[in-house]
Amino acid sequence: MSTGLFLVQALNGLQLGILLFLVAAGLTLVFGVMDFINLAHGVQYMLGAYLGAALAAATGSFWLGLLWALPAALIFGLLLEVLVFRHLYDRDHLSQVLATFGVILFLNQAVKAIWGAAPLQVPVPALLEDGVVLMPGLQYPLYRIAVLCAGIATALGLWFLVERTRLGMLVRAGATNAPMVSALGVDIRRLFMLVFAFGAMLAGFAGVLAGPIFSVEPGMGDHVLILAFVVIVIGGIGSIRGAFIAALIVGLTDTLGKSLMPDLMRLFLDPSAARQTGAALASMLVYIAMAAILAFRPRGLFPARSG
């Protein structure tokens, strides 16, 4: 493998990682701060993509679509919180899993009833339509680079918000010991609601960004959700920093694994067997990495909750 190809693959891995981070950031906050398992987080990613697609089509501009989709996703997150999730905070995890799984089924069907089962098309915004040539014969779409930049900017913004502001301090405190924060006179319910809606908006943001690259279809959030859970478990539940590092690890492992594994297997096996086992191993690699990390750091890389 040439250095050029390796660098492109590393860039691809980073980009997948950033997208995963945007989804996982909300999930880790909700799980960490509220101790609430929200399986429906993937659906919020899907909703973001659909809202972005619909609003872009309605306004005729991807940017306007993005601008409107964010508050729409936020409001939808709030609505879900008030209608469904608020009643589940005090229940055990099993009830939460069941109820949020129900929300997945409901919203997947609802999306299908409204927009149909066929995948939707979101055009790449004209400004970012071109590509840059990073290696001979391959254009790297500007749009992907823009997604990468947007993701890194969001990560920095989040880091600032969580580590350097009063609100962030409350969130971190809530992740560490919610009853104590409440006892100190902070309205923990309102904090929860805020965190929840913000997380939903982040997932929606990731969905809108994903629209021009991936197909927008019912159930598109389900694959992402699984990877997002892997990310927050590796990173340590409730930790934004952990989610960021873990998302990059998962993105890079997945992408580099896919491109290197079949070649690596060829050292031991004949070519056709190497390709198939290599492909199978590559798709397992993320989970193997998770198991390995958890074996040494059972609470993840950067555990938020102590004791």
Q: Compute how many residues bind another protein; rule: CB under 8 A.
A: 53
Torsion over CA: 294, 297, 298, 301 (sign): negative
C-beta atoms surrounding 168 within 10 Å: 16
How far is residue 74's CA from residue 48's CA, in Å, rounded to a whole number?
Answer: 9
Per CB under 8 A, 114 contacts another protein: no
State both tokens at 221.
């959030």
Closest among 107, 105, 302 to 207, alpha carbons compared: 107
Per CB under 8 A, 44 contacts another protein: no
Among 182, 241, 269, 275, the residue binding another protein under the rule CB under 8 A is 275
State both tokens at 91.
């229940």
φ and ψ at residue 131, rounded to 5 degrees: -135, 165
Q: Report, in Å, the least distance between residue 256 CB and another protein.
A: 8
C-beta atoms surrounding 63 within 10 Å: 11
| Residues in CB range of 168: below 8 A, 6 or more apart | 160, 161, 162
Among 58, 110, 114, 118, the residue binding another protein under the rule CB under 8 A is 118
Exposed (0-12), middle (13-18) or buried (19+): which is 248, by Cβ within 10 Å? buried
Q: Report, in Å, the least distance between residue 130 CB and another protein.
A: 9
Part in contact with another protein (CB under 8 A); list of ranges 21-29, 79-87, 152-160, 278-286: 278-286
**Binding to another protein in span 185-244, by CB under 8 A:** 212-220, 223-224
Per CB under 8 A, 287 contacts another protein: no
Considering the complex, state which of residue 55 and residue 74 has its C-beta at the smaller distance from another protein. Answer: 55
Q: Report, in Å, the least distance between residue 3 CB and another protein.
A: 11
Q: Report, in Å, the least distance between residue 222 CB and another protein.
A: 9
Among 176, 279, 287, 305, the residue binding another protein under the rule CB under 8 A is 279
Closest among 307, 223, 304 to 31, alpha carbons compared: 304
**Binding to another protein in span 120-159, by CB under 8 A:** 120-121, 123-124, 131, 133, 135-141, 143-144
Q: Report, in Å, the least distance between residue 43 CB and another protein.
A: 14
C-beta atoms surrounding 238 within 10 Å: 26
Helices 166-176 and 142-164: crossing angle, nearest 10°?
Answer: 80
- Where along the sequence are the contacts to another protein (CB under 8 A)? 1-2, 4-5, 8-9, 12-13, 15-16, 109, 112, 116-121, 123-124, 131, 133, 135-141, 143-144, 212-220, 223-224, 255-256, 258-259, 262, 272, 275-276, 279-280, 283
